[in-house]
Structure 1
Amino acid sequence: MPKLTWSLPHVTPAAIAAAFLLTPNGLANESQPKSTTAQELSIAVELLPPISVGVMEQVTPASQLLPGSPITESPTSTQGFENELTPNIEPNIEQTNDSMAQVTSVSQLSDVQPTDWAFQALQSIVERYGCMAGYPDGTYRGNRPLNRYEFAAALNACFDQLSKIILAPNLASSYFKEDLEAIKRLQSEFTVELARLRGNLDAVTARTAEVEITEFSTTTKLNGEVDFILIDYFTDNKAAPCCSSPNQDDSLTTTFTGLALLSFDTSFTGKDLLRTRIDTTDVPEFNNPLDGTDMTLYDFETDTDQEFVITELYYRFPISDRIQAHIAAAGLSADEITDPLNPVSALSRFGVHNPVYRLAEGGGAAIRYQFNDSIRISVAYLGSAASISNPTEGNGLFNGQFGAFTQLTLTPNQRLGIGLNYVHYYSPEPNSGVDVTGSTGSQFSQAPFGDQTATSANGFGLQGRYRLSPGFALGGWLSYINANAESSPRQSGLDGSKGAKADIWTWAITMAFPDLGKEGNELGFVFGMPPRLAENDINSRQDSDVSYHLETFYRYQINDNISITPGLFVILSPEHNSNNNSIVVPMVKTKFIF
């Protein structure tokens, strides 16, 4: 191997240091507390593993650049290099055509003073290596920006000069020998550290290769959640519908249960999302069959009899910068395509958000349009997954149970959010599961005209959220639902006729104290009235009293993956019937996410 080729890796650090210092944009435009010599720079850089000369083969030769390249030849001298090159300098950088001349002493540069932080480094580059040029007017112009062409020419000039030094016949007696000996000594002293660094790099390379081979998918991310829930239930009697007296004793006891869910989130473009979620749980439903009311339902109930069930299957994708669309076969709900504006992460089904959002959920399509940063509108047509996938009469995508939902969301600033929504709901007959309040209110409010009567409803909602401070936010909603009998209530054994009407109201006030005690924690309160059937053409199905929902909880975030949430909610006069005793439901929920 030629002596020059062997020696170049050892002097490369000095060449790089020289290249930065000989140009007008060198290191002189930064304030440093300490002067640095070229020798120190070369020694510091040489501590890294030696760089193979073969690496330079990765650089595309100038002769292979695309036609029109401004580079026509490689200058071999610093003299006149700005006239040989056509620099492509940024528009805000002042160009100069002044030629430069080689200097032999740093004192020849009038704008370089001994007090400059880089003075010693400049002096070493000029007097030891002789590869720095100044302008004809005797200035160095250390604060002038450097472009890439100037850097290439300067680097080449230093390599030329260093090559001459290495090939000099009196190298053994030259001052350059001191630099090489210092480098060799430092390499010897840091042999262990360099070996460890190489080992770490090899380990990282091997690990990366293993991950690439064994990773689940390059486009799919697996998210999981496991909840353990301790629930109790306190009351004297099973709740009875309005105006009736309870006559069954309550026998519910403490339960300990859990649920698990897996979400497969796939993206094909980085902006879209294909979600497939699988749930399994044996969480009991504290609802009408057990305690006489659905007002005690919690939000995480999806009893699957310990079988794995697909609960969400939809695809979300952008149509443009302002428009986002959803296509769903199951599990899409109105609150997922828009913001329900509730600052509280409640435990109960009623406390999570306005009940009108539950009238549109399942499969179908949705679209969201962002007018600007403050205004957006969301529209959805969603039907029960069991109904839209059923081809029989009275079912299907357009003839079965569905909800057509829209919401206008206004967020004039980061503190305030207001939502105005409307939903049209329809449930055909018979046995289609009529529920115009999303299993949150009384039995009468859910099916004003009975379970066997085709029912439509128009719901109007107003909800808002206001953040008074980073640690305190208020929220609330008010909704009115007008229900209509689309078939005769006599099919449900009731005295009424087709066209009967009913009025349902609900409201709530919520308070949240986020990050209370620790980041990720939350203290929350909910107070409101579950959906109440205030007026009905069928007098026998009307709520004469008023129920109230009181809820509080505190989520303690142990770490990013584990949280514990103790809480309880109380239902006063369940089923809007003052004859019923209050119901207290305490619980402790431990969540693991991964």
Structure 2
Amino acid sequence: MMSQLSSIFILTTPLLLGFNLLGIRAVAGEPVPLNPASTPVSEPVAGEFNPDPLDSDPSAIGPSSREDSGDEASHLLQQIEFYSQADLDFGPLEQVNSVSEFTDVSPTDWAFQALQNLASKYNCLLGYGDGTYQGNRAMTRYEFATSLNACLQVITDRINDLDVNTGDLDLLTRLTQDFSAELATLRDRVDNLELRTVEIEANQFSPTTKLAGEAAFTLADAFTDDVDVETVLSNRVRLNFVTSFTGRDNLFTRLEMGNIGNSFQPVLGTNEGRYAFDGATNNTVTLNRLHYFFPVGDKLSVRIFANAGGHQFYANTLNPFLEAGGGATGAISRFAERNPIYRFTLGGAGLGVKYTLGSNLEINAGYLASEAKTPISSAGLLDGNYSALGQIVLGSRFQVGLTYIHAYEGTSAPRFAYGGTGTNLGTLSPAALNPLSPSLRATPVVSNSYSVNTSLRITPNLIVGGWIAKTSARLIGLGDADIWNYAATVVLPDLGTPGSFASLIVGAEPHLTDLDVPGNPEFSKDTPFHIEGMYKYQITPNISLTPGLIWLTAPNQNNENSDVFIGTFRTTFTF
């Protein structure tokens, strides 16, 4: 009998705790604060706050008659069921069997494991009819009641399966009386814990800031017939301080250190296959990111970049799971992480906005300048190197993004227009262009990039996508150039364990296809294919292992160069 009672406790306690996680959806990606004005939260998604008009008057709609007072509970449940099917923007609440069925939840979300447990262990996770969870949206009282009803039903069914009889309950009552002294001691301990909690809160690091970190160890080697490459072991650590002043805004401050550098570029002589999570050198601590996000109303959100800006921080790159914002939890390479055109003016300062209309339309616009801090002629925020983005994203399960970026790079720019991704000719590197013709000296470049990006969630465990992009560049005073890049991606979410995924990326990094300058110089136009396979294995919610292999054909768009193979084994700790 005692084992039965213990089973009841074991079943109900985690389920109720799990339901607490289900109910904390007031703001995007963070728990509801006890003091909303002093607790940091992640970015809310504009346009998601949609109060149910029925919430103010429960009698305005739904069943309105009762046969007798004994049917009150049944009537209330009928009302809950009725309200759960109300005509919301996102569709009625429906039960889901896996968190992967949600189009707006990814393994990097802070509550991913909790949602997965509610679905797989307790079978009481609800979502909206359009396939979204809307984790950033405030719940109505009807939605809360519907979710609570679903979990309570699971509790009831499991207790009934245990067949607890009246004698067991009588015995439980007697045991409660016999152990009243012990229970009183337990209450005292709880009271002491509450006092200690108050003391900890009074002396905490900050009432407005939370700390999140990531540490990555990378064991890697490259293989090619053209040059000898040694095996390397490198690291990269990030500490993120997320501060909120209003409960809806966020100030992101990131410190970074490591020794991974620029991957194998110094040896291979190309930026193809460069890691998505590299850059830190000499294990020196630097201020890597200082961004401020705030919403304007329900549909518009704004992000200000003081440094380390990127268009991917506010614009949807349509590359779920592989996109990690330079983190060590997504793709191995920069090319696989996202369409390279989003990397124009990477690391600059500026502004980005996102405007959302429902769940099927998003509009992005932004401006970044890499010389914003330099107060000299032909520099500064408005007169130096810059890029401006305009994008529209359509759809939910099947998404299509149309992207346009206008950019300018003066002679002071390193000409890594794609953030250190692509062949030397594809990045219009002066070192690669000058040997082609005496006239191809370092010169300012203005460019227009056009891209079509796609993502299709075929099933909760299969996502396919890709992109194709063309950059039309003008070398001012010399001539024109055309640069192309494209890719197809396949991702298998939750393969093996929740949070794990496998992916295959096949495409061509930015490469020069046409150059119209004096002398019409000849250059190799071979297609530099990039083939990348990886598997991220989520051992625990905080530790993942990622083996991966990158195969580069025709490096620097020349078939005479030997193929390059880059093998990587990455271990990532998040805390």
TM band (smaller chain)? 0.5 to 0.7
Q: Conserved in 2, the CA contact under 8 Å of 1:408 and 1:420?
A: yes
2:452 aligned residue = 462
Aligned residue in 1 for 2:46:
none
Which of residues 342, 366, 372 is equivalent to 1:380? 366
SS of alignment partner, residue 534 of structure 1: strand
- Structure 1 residue aligned with 2:542: 561
| Matched residue SS, 2:426 | helix
Match of 2:492 in 1: 513
How far residue 432 of structure 1 moved from its aligned partner, in angstroms, is 2.0
Render the CA deviation track for 1:297-352: whole Å, top value 9, x for unaligned: 11111123211111111101011111111111112211110111113332111111
SS at match of 2:198: helix
Q: Deviation at 1:142?
A: 4.8
Match for residue 342 of structure 2? Answer: 357
Q: Deviations over 1:418-471 (max 9, x none)?
A: 110000110112x32123333211111111665721111100011100011111
Which segments of 5 or more consecutive residues in structure 1 lack a partner in the other structure? 1-88, 97-110, 112-139, 146-184, 238-249, 487-497
Kindly indicate whether structure 1 or structure 2 has the higher relative contact order, using CA contacts under 8 Å at least 6 residues apart.
Answer: 2
Report the secondary structure of 1:589's partner residue: strand
Q: Do the aligned residues in 2 keep the contact of 1:444 with 1:543 (CA within 8 Å)?
A: no
* Residue aligned with 1:423, SS: strand
- Residue segments in structure 2 that go unaligned for 5+ positions in a row: 1-56, 74-173, 323-329, 434-440
| Alignment of 1:337 onto 2:310 | no
Could you tell me which residue of structure 2 aligns to residue 12 of structure 1? none
Native 8 Å contact 1:533 1:542 kept in 2: no
* Amino acid across the alignment from 1:590: T
Aligned match of 2:325: none
Map of 1:403 onto structure 2: 387
Q: 1:394 — aligned with what? A: 378
Sequence identity percentage: 33
What residue is the counterpart of 1:416 in the other structure? 398
1:40-60 Cα offsets, whole Å, 9 max, x none, are xxxxxxxxxxxxxxxxxxxxx
The residue type paired with residue 374 of structure 1 is N
Matches within 5 A, 1:51-450: 142=70, 189-237=178-226, 250-343=227-320, 344=322, 345-361=330-346, 362-384=348-370, 387-411=371-395, 413=396, 415-429=397-411, 431-447=412-428, 450=433
1:287 Cα deviation from its structure 2 partner = 4.9
Normalising by structure 1, report the TM-score.
Answer: 0.63
Distance change in 2, residues 1:94/1:502 (3 Å): closer
Task: Tell me how far apart the structure 2 counterparts of residues 196 and 378 of structure 1 sit (CA, whole Å).
Answer: 58
**8 Å Cα contact 1:453/1:485 also seen in 2:** yes
User: Is residue 491–residue 503 contact of structure 2 (8 Å, CA) maintained in 1?
Assistant: yes
Report how far residue 296 of structure 1 moved.
Answer: 2.5
Q: 1:208 to 1:187 in 2, by over 3 A?
A: same
1:237-284 Cα shifts (integer Å, max 9, x gaps)? 1xxxxxxxxxxxx23200011010011111112211110111101003
Indicate the SS of the match to 1:351.
Answer: helix
Q: For residue 460 of structure 1, what is the amino acid of its counterpart?
A: Y
Measured in 1, the distance between the counterparts of 2:71 and 2:334 equals: 66
Retained in 2: the 8 A contact 1:382–1:404?
yes
User: Are 2:221 and 2:566, in contact at CA under 8 Å, matched by a contact in 1?
Assistant: yes
Q: Which residue of 2 aligns with 1:65?
A: none
Query: Cα gap change, 1:262/1:275 in structure 2, threshold over 3 Å: closer, same or farther?
Result: same
After superposition, the Cα gap between the structure-2 partners of 1:576 and 1:188, relative to the gap in structure 1 and judged at 3 Å, is: closer
Deviation at 1:391, TM superposition (A): 1.4
Matches of 2:186 and 2:492, distance apart in 1: 48
Give the length in aligned residue pairs: 398
Distance 1:533 1:222 in 2: 43
TM-score using structure 2 length: 0.65
User: Within 2, Cα distance between the matches of 1:394 and 1:536?
Assistant: 26
Please give the secondary structure, in 2, of the residue aligned with 1:341.
coil
Q: 1:327 to 1:187 in 2, by over 3 A?
A: closer
- Paired residue secondary structure (2:247): coil
Q: Is this contact kept in 1: 2:336–2:505, CA < 8 A?
A: yes
Work out the CA distance in 2 between the residues paired with 1:546 and 1:264: 43
User: What corresponds to 2:472 in structure 1?
Assistant: 482
Structure 2: which amino acid aligns with 1:469?
A: T
Residue 529 of structure 1: which of 496, 508, 515 is its match?
Answer: 508
More off after superposition, 541-550 vs 455-464:
541-550
Deviation at 1:214, TM superposition (A): 2.8
